[in-house]
Amino acid sequence: MNGCACARRWFAPFIVALGAVVTMPAFARDQHHHAMTLDRDGMVMNANADTLPEDCSEISDNIEIEIRVGRDHALRGLTYGFNQHEWRVPPCSRLIVTLVNEDEVRHQWMVHGLPRYLYPQGMFHLEVSGGKRKTGTFIVPSDDATYLAHCDISQHTEQGLKGQIVVGGGGDSLPSIPGISAPRFPDRY
Ligand SMILES: [Cu+2]
């Protein structure tokens, strides 16, 4: 009995230390890959105000975009909406984006498909608590392209929070952008 308790006393700190070793690198790895600022109002991930995409020789323009998000902007049949679902910007422009959340629930404006050498996982991401706002800056590349911007919180994309950033002449338009494009597969009912 005594020996058993003794072993447990020895074991407890060991387990705590092991836990720290196992969890710390994962945390550190995430910090390394994503440049993130975070407070109680929300989060800006992978902001880039200064580093030019390698295909751009200079910043072509500074574009300030205010995006309001919430139920009041939902189009017919949808639950949520952005105040607009398409943003047209020049190649190599610097976008200073403010996401204003008019709902109680959390929302995001998450951009995909950006160059991975500048934006980890190709993402730029704003996330804002209910009733708050966040501003973040990023620079788009030179090529004509269309980037998905959406809210990745459960079902919010399908419920209306899907948009596209059209750089220059744009690429292929994305399906199911509220007010912009039809679904890829029409409803059968
Ligand atoms: Cu959302």
Residues 52 and 19 in one domain: no
Is the pLDDT score of 23 beyond 60?
Answer: no
Residues 63 and 114 in one domain: yes
Asked if residue 180 is part of any domain, the answer here is: no
Asked if residue 185 is part of any domain, the answer here is: no
Asked if residue 184 is part of any domain, the answer here is: no
Contact 114, 140 (CB under 8 A): yes
Please report which confidence band the pLDDT of residue 26 belongs to, taking 50, 70 and 90 as the band edges. Answer: very low
Q: Which two tokens stand for residue 1?
A: 């009995």
Residue whose pair of structure tokens reads 């959340």 in the numeric block: 101
Question: What spacing in Å lies between the alpha carbon of 8 and ligand 1's midpoint?
Answer: 47
Residues 78 and 151 in one domain: yes
d(CA 168, CA 141): 10
Residues 16 and 46 in one domain: no
Q: How many CA atoms lie within 13 A of 173 on its CB side?
A: 14
| Mean pLDDT taken over the chain | 88
Asked if residue 183 is part of any domain, the answer here is: no
Host domain of residue 7: 1-33
Asked if residue 130 is part of any domain, the answer here is: yes
Asked if residue 71 is part of any domain, the answer here is: yes
> Helix or strand or coil: residue 92?
coil
Q: Which pLDDT does position 35 carry in this prediction?
A: 86
Question: What spacing in Å lies between the alpha carbon of 78 and ligand 1's midpoint?
Answer: 12
> What is the CATH classification number for the domain harbouring 73?
2.60.40.420
| Contacts of 137 by beta carbon, 8 Å cutoff, 6+ apart | 47, 48, 49, 94, 95, 96, 97
pLDDT tens digits for 49-107? Answer: 999 999 999 999 999 999 999 999 999 999 999 999 999 999 999 999 999 999 999 99
Q: Which two tokens stand for residue 148?
A: 């998905």
Question: What spacing in Å lies between the alpha carbon of 55 and ligand 1's midpoint?
Answer: 33
Percent of the chain with pLDDT over 70: 83
**pTM for this prediction:** 0.80
Residues having C-beta closer than 5 Å to ion ligand 1: 107, 151, 153, 156
Is the pLDDT score of 18 beyond 70?
Answer: no
Residues 1 and 90 in one domain: no
pLDDT tens digits for 138-158? Answer: 999 999 999 999 999 999 999
Residue among 98, 94, 173 nearest 141 (CA):
94
Question: What spacing in Å lies between the alpha carbon of 107 and ligand 1's midpoint?
Answer: 3
Residues 95 and 16 in one domain: no
Please report which confidence band the pLDDT of residue 185 belongs to, taking 50, 70 and 90 as the band edges. Answer: confident
